[in-house]
């Protein structure tokens, strides 16, 4: 058992015992869902279904129903793709990188952040697939033998790297998440009273028994998966940025894209985690586990990654002038002062100015302020992708083909629909899955729980005889 400095704030408030942790996490699953859940689920499902309808219309009619044109061949679809992938990054960062750094506060949020990752990557993956037009031929991106066409897929293309990166990322995150879930499903299984629930959770728990050897393997597998997922999470958004950076479009052809995209991804992902967590802790009564300290830690990450993003924006501007390349300079002048100046201005305000407010302790520990900023950041990060993609394309080398992008209602419908679907998945997760890594939380109860933290050390030696009420 690790000791922790008394001055460090407890991570679990109140006088919780092991059993209280189980109760607090399992109660929302075992109780009837509150009315609010049904209301939210209904709204999310309607929005999601509208999105599905738009996708079906798109598939039936063709990609022409989007607001794309000859000059702007990529716009909302790829913006939304990058936005969702970026949001996904926080989950893996929390569960993998913070595990390697042994940050105990991750345990309160890792489970739901990973769920968020998986659902966000689902939504992201949808966009390239529907952009193919013929969704059912999506498997052609795999390296299949020549009978399927005249060529192999192009392994020199960042778009194919993306196929490998996103599918590896999704499947590894899913496995990492599920391996962590198994012991917690076993807890729910062993508590379940209703036969159907018992059966379902028995299947989900894979027969986990909590043997010492199982836990020994569990710990190693978590560690190695974290070690594998850490470079993975950095590689995925680097590769997403290669989609742009390896082209010769001014505004895209930039070597700072990989670190800049990764920082932006973590930035937006943490903002989404904040948005979800602040609502969830309240709705599910988990204030003792996810409290101001956790929010503050996440706000510090938002501040740091936001500053990296801000530095990247300014570096980009400086280099576009310093390089002396006319086209590059024009791309950036056009971003700031051209017809899309409002998108650029929103991106700068939301992403550069708003995270700097987190320097004030009063603000970064205010839950209301955090909630507002978390939404502002995600709006800003959406605009970042829109600015990078559309403003770089809409005025290319040939002024006669300059054009503007106006989203069609299908563009908007698909995007809003994915937000609806995302919340459908997340609400189902919150209803049926343990939203906190409840068995992992128990391992830090003694070192970081409020009731144990400053208590005198009674757990060694002599206390063994005090509990002797044997049967």
Partner 1 sequence: MADRIFYAMYDDDDILKDGAKHLVSKGVKVSEVFSPFPIHGLDPIIGIQNTRLGIMAFIYGLTGLLLATIGMRYFMVVDWPMNIGGKPNFTYLDNILAFVPISFEFTVLCAAHGMAITYMLRNRTLPGIPAQNPDPRTTDDRFVMEIRLSENSKFSTDDLQEMLKETGIVELDQKELK
DSSP 255: T
Supply 264's token pair.
């932006």
DSSP 105: T
CA-to-CA distance for 381 and 349, rounded, in angstroms? Answer: 11
The answer to whether 215 contacts partner 1 (rule: CB under 8 A) is: yes
The answer to whether 176 contacts partner 1 (rule: CB under 8 A) is: yes
The answer to whether 34 contacts partner 1 (rule: CB under 8 A) is: no
Binding mask 191-210 for partner 1 (x = CB under 8 A): x----------xxxxxxxxx
DSSP for 1-24 reads -----TTSPPSB-S---HHHHHHH
CB of 135 to partner 1, least distance (A): 23
The answer to whether 211 contacts partner 1 (rule: CB under 8 A) is: yes
CB of 110 to partner 1, least distance (A): 15
Taking the mean position of all CA atoms in its chain, how far away is CA 414?
Answer: 19
The answer to whether 27 contacts partner 1 (rule: CB under 8 A) is: no
The answer to whether 405 contacts partner 1 (rule: CB under 8 A) is: no
DSSP for 325-356 reads -HHHHHHHHHHHHSTTHHHHHHHHIIIIIHHH
Number of residues that bind partner 1 (CB under 8 A): 78
Contact 344, 251 (CB under 8 A): no
The answer to whether 146 contacts partner 1 (rule: CB under 8 A) is: yes
CA-to-CA distance for 121 and 77, rounded, in angstroms? Answer: 14
Among 69, 71, 235, 311, binds partner 1 (CB under 8 A): 235
Contact 226, 100 (CB under 8 A): yes
Taking the mean position of all CA atoms in its chain, how far away is CA 345?
Answer: 25
Among 34, 73, 143, 285, binds partner 1 (CB under 8 A): 143
Of 136 and 397, CB closest to partner 1: 397
Q: Which stretch binds partner 1 (CB under 8 A): 49-57, 334-342, 359-367, 463-471?
A: 463-471
The answer to whether 253 contacts partner 1 (rule: CB under 8 A) is: no
The answer to whether 182 contacts partner 1 (rule: CB under 8 A) is: yes
Q: Between residue 416 and residue 455, which ones bind partner 1 under the rule CB under 8 A?
A: 439-440, 442-443, 446
Q: Between residue 1 and residue 20, which ones bind partner 1 under the rule CB under 8 A?
A: 1, 17-19
CA-to-CA distance for 62 and 71, rounded, in angstroms? Answer: 18
Among 160, 197, 200, 367, binds partner 1 (CB under 8 A): 160
């Amino acid at each position: 058992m690790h000791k922790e400095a008394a001055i460090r704030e407890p991570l679990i408030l109140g006088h919780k015992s092991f059993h209280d942790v189980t109760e607090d996490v399992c109660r929302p699953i075992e109780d009837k869902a509150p009315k609010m859940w049904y209301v939210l689920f209904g709204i999310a499902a309607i929005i999601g279904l509208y999105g599905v309808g738009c996708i079906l219309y798109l598939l039936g009619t063709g990609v022409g129903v989007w607001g794309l044109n000859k000059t702007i061949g990529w716009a909302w679809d790829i913006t939304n793709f990058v936005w969702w992938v970026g949001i996904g990054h926080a989950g893996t960062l929390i569960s993998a990188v913070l595990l390697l750094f042994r940050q105990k506060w991750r345990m309160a949020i890792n489970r739901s952040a990973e769920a968020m990752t998986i659902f966000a990557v689902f939504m992201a993956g949808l966009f390239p697939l529907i952009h193919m037009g013929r969704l059912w031929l999506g498997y052609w991106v795999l390296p299949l033998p020549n009978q399927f066409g005249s060529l192999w897929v192009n392994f020199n293309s960042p778009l194919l790297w993306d196929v490998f990166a996103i599918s590896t990322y999704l499947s590894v995150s899913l496995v990492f998440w599920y391996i962590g879930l198994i012991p917690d499903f076993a807890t729910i299984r062993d508590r379940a009273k209703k036969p159907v629930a018992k059966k379902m959770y028995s299947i989900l728990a894979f027969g986990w028994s909590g043997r010492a050897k199982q836990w020994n393997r569990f710990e190693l597998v978590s560690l190695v998966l974290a070690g594998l997922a850490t470079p993975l999470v950095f590689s995925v958004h680097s590769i997403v940025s290669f989609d742009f950076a390896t082209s010769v479009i001014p505004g895209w052809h930039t070597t700072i894209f990989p670190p800049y995209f990764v920082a932006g991804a973590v930035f937006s992902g943490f903002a989404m985690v904040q948005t979800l967590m602040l609502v969830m802790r309240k709705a599910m009564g988990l204030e003792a586990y996810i409290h101001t300290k956790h929010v503050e830690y996440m706000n510090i990450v938002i501040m740091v990654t936001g500053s990296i993003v801000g530095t990247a924006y300014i570096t980009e501007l400086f280099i576009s002038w310093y390089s002396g390349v006319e086209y590059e300079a024009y791309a950036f002048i056009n971003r700031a002062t051209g017809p899309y100046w409002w998108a650029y201005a929103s991106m700068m305000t939301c992403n550069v100015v708003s995270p700097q407010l987190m320097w004030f302790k009063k603000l970064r520990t205010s839950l209301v302020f955090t909630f507002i900023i978390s939404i502002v950041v995600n709006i800003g990060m959406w605009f970042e992708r829109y600015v990078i993609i559309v403003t770089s394309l809409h005025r290319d080398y040939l002024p006669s083909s300059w054009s503007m992008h106006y989203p069609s209602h299908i563009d908007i419908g698909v995007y809003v629909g994915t937000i609806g679907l995302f919340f459908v998945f997340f609400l189902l997760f919150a209803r049926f899955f343990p939203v906190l890594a409840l068995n992992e939380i128990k391992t830090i109860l003694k070192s970081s729980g409020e009731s144990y933290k400053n208590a005198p050390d009674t757990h060694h030696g002599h206390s063994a005889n005090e509990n002797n009420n044997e049967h």
